[in-house]
Chains A and B, each alone.
Chain A
Amino acid sequence: MAEVISQTEIGPDLYKLKISARIPQAPAEGVAAPGRFCHLQVRQPESWDPLLRRPLSIYNAEGYNPELTAETDRETDFETGHETDHGTDHGTNNERAHKTIRNTDDETDHKAFHKTDHETDQLEFVYQIRGRGTRLLSQFQAGEQIDCMGPLGSGFTLDFRGSSIILLGGGLGIAPLYFLARKLAANNDLQVYLGASSADLLEPLAADFARLDLRLTLATDDGSLGRVGTVFDAFREDFTEKFQEGKNSQQSDYIFACGPVPLLHSLQKYMTANNLPGEFSLEKRMACGSGVCLSCVCQTAKGNQRVCYEGPVLPAREVIFNGC
């Protein structure tokens, strides 16, 4: 069980939920890494309706695996806004954060719980009310218990240093990129493109990014904030120029993106044409979150992949969007 620390409405039907959850501390056992998600139970314990959990990607985390925390020497503490020192450099994490579930309300003995000690961790999620499940989620108040399973799935590659990295987020697809931006900003050249329909949605989603050491470009469909058009339009404008100047060849550009399928599909075509590597975080209707039911599969060059298990983050070039 996790406890709700705060539930804040930060925009139109847009919420930031902060919980404290017991996350195992052993490496690769349920660590809260960028790109991973938690599966939250929105119904009351005595009810079976709505039946399924709701997956939310991790927006931010504190007090998780120290190896990951040490990626940046100095960073802003997300709660207080004060800069904090995170101590010595433990090196980079060379593998994508692993799957493995390890946190439910259950008292039942549990392999992972035996292997490791726990400490209280804080996880943040940003979500928008889209239906019954998210509406019920928005009604959880500080101090209430919430059944949070996770962190689950496979996250973003994090072993970058001195690289030129581009983040593209459209709409609520911005949410999983904040934690990633925090991890990568200190040691890499980070260019972040964030877009949404209009300013009232984009402003709260982009606010935390503005406090990090990165270059931020905003775009809205209606032009109410930043450039007019999609985040892909903005990115393409900037980079087509860059590629024409022949600056790309010696750079180690890498792209991370999350957003609506049409956005990712356009981006994928552009990345293929310009030989740009990267990763996409995908969203699918999901049931189990633990890899057993095959509800959330996505077609890829390697055959069907489970968004909850091999994903949500998959190599950009492998995803087949027509079947996704």
Chain B
Amino acid sequence: MAADNSQRERADNPRINHNIDLTTALGALQLNNPVLTASGTCGFGRELAEIYELSELGALIVKGITVEPRSGNPSPRIAETPAGMLNSIGLENPGLEGFIREELPWLAEVKPPVLANISGHSISDFSRLAEGLADREEIAGLEVNVSCPNIGAGGLAFGTDPEMVARVTEAVRDYYSGFILIKLTPAVGDILAVAQAARDAGADALTVCNTMPGIDIDVETQASVLGNTYGGLSGPALQPIALKLVYQLAQADILPILGGGGIMSGRDAIKFFLAGARAVSVGTATLLNPLAPVKIKNEIIDYLEEQNCSSLEEIIGRAL
């Protein structure tokens, strides 16, 4: 049945016969195509798998996990802002054990690489998560969230301090020998210092970037809209900020970059490639249309064809 469907999809999808080489790599992580789902916008892949074949994706970065289960922040958890949104989900997740028990068996069946996203309140939280996920063949690597604006201690505070980023990265590297992405915050003075700290401590690549802290205020209630007061800004409003950080980091050539921030279309993704990203993560766009990553991948192909490129590689860093 599954084979039938994929054959039909092949036959019906004109872009399946394109001659563009979309393969890319983030360090040692080889990807069939450069479009990834951003953590927190694809759950653990189950809901999207009801809608399209996950093999359409370059990789999945699944919902962030913490050592203990979390029920997340109070409602409202989102606010719509000009061409963007704030979220303060608060890392609702089943915890490390729940993830291993409930989600890993399913993720083992997912075809593209799956990266687990980990968050913690302390260095030892990160160590425990890395230890718990070490040698798990179901996942292709870890994305280390040193930049969550929605948890109290730790979270964003780690990501703004190069020394703390180094310590978190080391803690993870001590237990985890596989692929490590460090997810950076845009709310930082010197992004180069943070990135260098991550590289020196053993990171393989960087995710640039997480959401930007923000707030919205309801003029009727005269209070913050969000239950947790602050949230993280995502969507088109974040795009130029993320793009600038990618550009700046690519110029410095510190580590391979997974770029993302308000990528809504193929042309948005192209901007990140031109700025030096080797792959892109699609997040908020999936919340508007679950098919967005597939659509974006197809639009990337269209652009490369228009530009007479035979591979994605040709355009990476061209704007630098």
Interface residues of A (CB under 8 A from B): 41, 48-53, 99-102, 104-106, 108-112, 114-115, 133, 149, 284-288, 290-299, 303-304, 309, 323-324
Number of B residues near A (Cβ < 8 Å) is: 44
A-B pairs with beta carbons under 8 Å apart, 25 shown: A41-B288, A48-B84, A51-B85, A51-B235, A51-B236, A52-B287, A99-B50, A101-B51, A108-B295, A108-B298, A109-B9, A109-B52, A114-B9, A284-B75, A285-B76, A288-B290, A291-B43, A292-B42, A292-B286, A295-B77, A297-B92, A299-B71, A309-B47, A323-B74, A323-B75
The answer to whether A294 touches B294 (Cβ under 8 A) is no
Task: Give Cα distance in the complex from A285 to B76, angstroms.
Answer: 7
- Residues of A contacting B12 in the complex (Cβ-Cβ under 8 angstroms): 109, 114
The answer to whether A111 touches B82 (Cβ under 8 A) is no
Task: Give Cα distance in the complex from A105 to B291, angstroms.
Answer: 10
Q: Within the complex, what minimum Cβ distance (angstroms) separates B35 from chain A?
A: 12
Which 5 A-B pairs rank lowest in CB-CB distance, beginning with the nearest?
A288-B287, A291-B47, A48-B236, A295-B78, A48-B83
The answer to whether A287 touches B87 (Cβ under 8 A) is yes
The answer to whether A111 touches B287 (Cβ under 8 A) is no
Which of chain B's residues has its CB closest to A50's CB? B80
- Residues of B contacting A309 in the complex (Cβ-Cβ under 8 angstroms): 47
Which of chain B's residues has its CB closest to A132's CB? B80
Q: Is B221 an interface residue (CB 8 A)?
A: no
Task: Give Cα distance in the complex from A19 to B83, angstroms.
Answer: 26
The answer to whether B52 touches A111 (Cβ under 8 A) is yes
The answer to whether B47 touches A290 (Cβ under 8 A) is yes
In addition to A108-B298, A295-B87, A323-B75, 20 A-B residue pairs with Cβ atoms within 8 Å of each other are A51-B81, A52-B80, A52-B85, A53-B288, A100-B50, A101-B50, A110-B51, A110-B291, A111-B5, A111-B51, A111-B52, A114-B8, A292-B286, A292-B287, A293-B41, A293-B87, A293-B89, A295-B77, A304-B92, A324-B75
Interface residues of B (CB under 8 A from A): 5, 8-9, 12-13, 40-43, 47-48, 50-53, 71-72, 74-78, 80-85, 87, 89, 92, 235-236, 264, 284, 286-291, 294-295, 298
Q: Which of A49, A108, A287 contacts B287 (CB 8 A)?
A: A287
- Residues of A contacting B286 in the complex (Cβ-Cβ under 8 angstroms): 288, 292
Task: Give Cα distance in the complex from A12 to B286, angstroms.
Answer: 35
A50-B80, A51-B84, A111-B50 known; A297-B291 Cβ under 8 A? no
Q: Within the complex, what minimum Cβ distance (angstroms) separates A61 from chain B?
A: 21
